[in-house]
Amino acid sequence: MEIQEILLEKNVPCKMRDGVTLYADIYRPKMEGKFPVLLTRLPYNKDLPFYSHRYLDTNRLVQNGYIVIVQDVRGRFNSEGKFYPFLHEAEDGYDTVEWAASLPYSNGNVGMFGLSYYGYTQLLAATEQPPHLKAIFPAMTLNDWRNNSLNDGGKFLVASAETWALESVAPDQLKRKHGDAQEYESMMKKLVEYDNDIEQWYQYRPVEQWPPLKELGVAEYFFEMLNGSLPEEYSEKMSILHKYPQINVPAYHIAGWYDNLLESTLKNYSELQKSGQAQQKLIIGPWGHGLFSSVIGERNFGVHSSEDGIDLTGLHISWFDQWLKGKIAHENEAPVKLFVMGINEWRDEYEWPLARTTYMSYFLHSKGHANTRFGDGSLSVEQPGSEKVDTFVYDPGNPVPTNGGGTLYAGVNTLGPKDQRILEEREDVLVYTSEPLESPLEVTGSVKVKLWAKTDAEDTDFTVKLMDVLPDGKAYNLTDGIVRAKYRTGHDIGEKIKGEILEYEMELWPTSNVFLPGHCIRIEISSSNFPKYDPNLNTGETMISSVEHKIAKQTIYHDEKYPSQIILPVIG
């Protein structure tokens, strides 16, 4: 029977093991009885519906017989304590789960849900194995905060790290720091001024002295993580990379092809599935971070691709009904559901990555005729022979601008599939395009690149972007990747780079797309993608601590000895 009336209790206290009190809003059925609990713990203010409810209809959850608890995490908004991202979320999550199970109207079964930060609060709590946590539903989330949000293989995630600190963390910290209303208003005015010019502030060097946060005197974690002064015990608490065996609850993971946390979400699913301790499920849509609409970037994937078409609230109800109420509704359902772009269809799968994948190499070639713009070339399955090199000049003072993709900064208009042709007019972007396809070609999975290149710099970056080129010429990005020369094996190799012809292997994030007949496969090669990543200064230093940069000459090889190629995961 659907429940018609809902009770709301505001700011219900929950005391942690160290005496700090956190506060939650509780939505529950207005009727006698005990019900299972669905808990979410967030740093974005439980009183704001955009965050506390977001992509789910929480009223519908209550109407289907659940208690919904939305809690401000430690040090945020109504809750006591000092905020430090993720530092206390494992222990606080355990304590909150057990508190929720003990409420007089709770039946003792607790599930957790939420996206991004509050997707990760679920996984961290699960590592502590609270006895009453029965299932979780983490969406678009992390597995190691330092590497997912601040740093990616030696590259600083400029825009997402700075935007989150200034827009999401700073306002509440200013309110706590400045009790005087006039003083607080003055500091908030400064914050707004900084935020209005944030695209200019992305360019500021050195980042370790970033004025917006330095002057406001907030988000100390930002500088501690930049300069490496973060205690090792903190790093351990912020990561689950070595804690997957400790997570023994069923989990339903939500991912998006254009989400900036796609890779970590897929790793969470794969590692937990591999451990075999509890059932795992995965859904991957044509979505960006927290964006589940049918339109993303410059493409419309159809209403069936949206949260309404897939009924995300219904998926949650079905999942939690199974684990918190014992209702087995989809016993034989495939564990993976993914959206295949190009044909714009949902498809069930039984593993990730797909076991039936075959890998097809497309090699880089020169077009070899005088009428082609310098640097343009072709892609084909034929191995290269004797061919000329391609070169371009990379200037860190004029980096290639980020144009869509899996980003998280300055609003949703920066992410998703966008026509890349405007970037292809730049002299520092090399373009390689296949002939129009005669039959459909499905690419689903991680895309690999083997690039032979040389630089005259002490250190540098190389970037690769994969695109689907439509018959009308529009070139939509599917996925991209970047490699920092000195970190090309995963850590600072300390080898000579300048003047050496080296093989750079990079793994572009997964995608799923059918290249239709008449479409072309295209890649772009360059050395920057800013402000998604910090531009390499070509000096061996980074913009975190340095202001000087040098211009580099980059050489791309694609011949018999150095067969540069993109390796596509093809589904037959």
How many other C-beta atoms lie within 10 A of the C-beta of residue 553? Answer: 14
Question: Residue 177 gets which letter from DSSP?
Answer: H
Q: Which residues contact 197 (CB under 8 A, 6 or more apart)?
A: none
CA distance 50 to 542: 36
DSSP 461: E
What are the E-state strand segments in 350-460? 358-366, 377-380, 390-394, 430-433, 441-455
| Pairing label, strands 21-29, 6-15 | antiparallel
* End-to-end Cα spacing for the chain: 46
Whether 317 contacts 61, CB under 8 Å: yes
CA–CA dist 415, 488 (Å, integer): 26
Q: Say if residue 206 is preceded by a cis peptide, omega within 30 of 0.
A: yes
Amino acid identity for residue 190 in this structure: K
Cite the active site residues: 116, 259, 289
CA distance 339 to 316: 18
CA distance 97 to 14: 10
CB atoms within 10 A of CB 450: 17
